[in-house]
Chains A and B, each alone.
Chain A
């Protein structure tokens, strides 16, 4: 699907400064070697299983299923991983790769803080220095995660430029990487950016769909009818979709953050409101104005508050293999509360976008149909923000 230069249809590529080219070429060569190296794969599997707690559960949400009264719903519990989200899958892979490449320092961007926490965790485990760039706005929305990263020994740099959110954190991490390449690996957190990142991150996250497939075959002796996941850059969704792409009967549904609605300017629904562009190293869909200036996006979810989408998702959209649907703040908050009450599982507000869409379609589906929702992270980090959304003034 991707050629030598990391293209997915027209999307992808390597639109980065010349200064970084040898670094990404070196990364690509190292990855191509280690992905087939038995020792690397043994070490990574051991980290996944013994450290991160994989495989994550595929849980039959019986109460949720009965309450909605339609399709049978399973939850892929990435929230139960160490550090509380799917981000650890990619980070353990990249940190191990960086270690093999003799890098001693990891830098990362973070939105909600989940990727930053995961990177800080891997850096602590593997004795690496760690610097995390986080939009200043997000350091306020997710203050607890800032503390958590510092506790793990990372330095958190609040980014004040632009809209002071995830896209600015990515820009700042890229700037930092151009200034220090020799000892530093940029541990990019999603299936985005220049080649080879979209491929590397997808491969490390594809453990999610590999497990779903084995688990659902064991429990139901057949594949699901739909797999639903939230999409910002799109790493948990790509991981959840990847091993089902060739199974054409499995609907793949990505849930974008619509913010206050796709008919408003306060949205982050890239496929639904954006158009083709070139930014952050890749050609893909971006929210932008008519002159190509990147739009200041908005979502209640710091992790989905990004104006672009990974190039492979853009391609899956183009060929009609995956659907990308908008979910508003209101719908996501309702789903956040609904899943908490019906199943006793507090999902990340990001994952709640996927739950919200399942709440819309499950009742319309027959009872013998099966939906898998990826719960990409746990929602403890979001409780104070959701309380405030509901008018309860609590702070962490």
Chain B
């Protein structure tokens, strides 16, 4: 069983997303450790991309700020090596296809495996294009995470049957970012997933409050939160680790 799947055995999973290098890697390291200490089950580490087409304004800005600060793929690999000295929970990268492809797919994924990255999420890699990266991910034992969207409809079964690690259920149409309300019928999507696989599924996009997280996790196996965490880092430049830690604790407790 993969480390990612094991992370879902400890009740509902809480998965925070953090853009590496926003505002710098030192802060990212502190924020990740605070999230782990306060109950995060998996950490999603964003490798910034110049043109993040699946992101709303908050994470777009974090990507640009991180790149302006000089973060690169190589620096993030070094950062993860350092993180892995004490961080034991599963780590997954979230990045764009060109970041992986341009680095050299084989070299990128081999490095992921060596430094202890358990999975990769690529938001513009639908089922039809999985072959771009999946054979290499399989070779090195890195889970390529599949996404299912509110529009997936008849595609859900096929995607679910071929998934690895966990399934990322996109809660709403549009890009990442906090929403006051999630109207998608998540329950029905998860039902089809469950009929086709025993791989766990977590819901992301638009979640910011403990009540939303509780509701989404009650319908699935966990909740993913990104923009809300980036906002906390932005608003608390002096003590972002402490603020994120408190937030993670409140979210995990609500699940």
Contacts and interface: CB of A to CB of B under 8 A. Distances in A.
Contact of B99 (A161, A175, A292): A292
Given A16-B126, A18-B159, 20 more contacts: A18-B155, A19-B150, A19-B174, A21-B151, A21-B155, A22-B155, A161-B57, A161-B60, A162-B51, A162-B64, A171-B51, A175-B53, A178-B173, A277-B101, A278-B124, A279-B51, A288-B98, A291-B72, A292-B73, A294-B50
A162 B49 CA distance: 11
Contacts of A23: 151
Nearest to A172: B53
A276 to B, nearest CB: 8
Chain B interface size, under 10 / 10 to 19 / 20 to 34 / 35 or more: 35 or more
Interface of A: 5, 13-23, 161-162, 167-168, 171, 174-175, 178-181, 275-281, 283, 286, 288, 290-294
B98 A18 contact: no
Nearest to B168: A18
A178 B175 contact: yes
A171 B50 CA distance: 11
Contacts of B195: none
Contact of B152 (A18, A171, A175, A280): A18
A22 B153 contact: yes
Contact of A18 (B50, B57, B102, B147): B147
A13 B124 contact: no
A180 B101 CA distance: 29
Contact of B151 (A161, A181, A278, A290): A181
A275 B101 CA distance: 11
B98 A279 contact: yes
Contacts of A291: 72-74, 99, 102-103
B98 A292 contact: yes
A23 B173 CA distance: 12
A240 B3 CA distance: 54
A22 B151 contact: yes
Contacts, number: 120
Given A17-B124, A22-B155, A181-B151, A167 B51 contact: yes
A236 to B, nearest CB: 25
A21 B174 contact: no
B129 interface: yes
A161 B147 CA distance: 26
A278 B98 contact: yes
Nearest to B48: A293
B243 interface: no
B182 interface: no
Contacts of A286: 98
Interface string B142-177: 000001111111010001000000000010011100
A179 B60 contact: no
B199 interface: no
Nearest to A292: B102
28 contacts: A13-B128, A15-B126, A17-B53, A17-B54, A17-B147, A18-B170, A19-B170, A21-B126, A21-B149, A21-B151, A21-B152, A162-B50, A162-B64, A178-B174, A178-B175, A180-B174, A278-B124, A280-B53, A283-B101, A291-B72, A291-B74, A291-B103, A292-B73, A292-B98, A292-B100, A292-B102, A292-B103, A293-B49
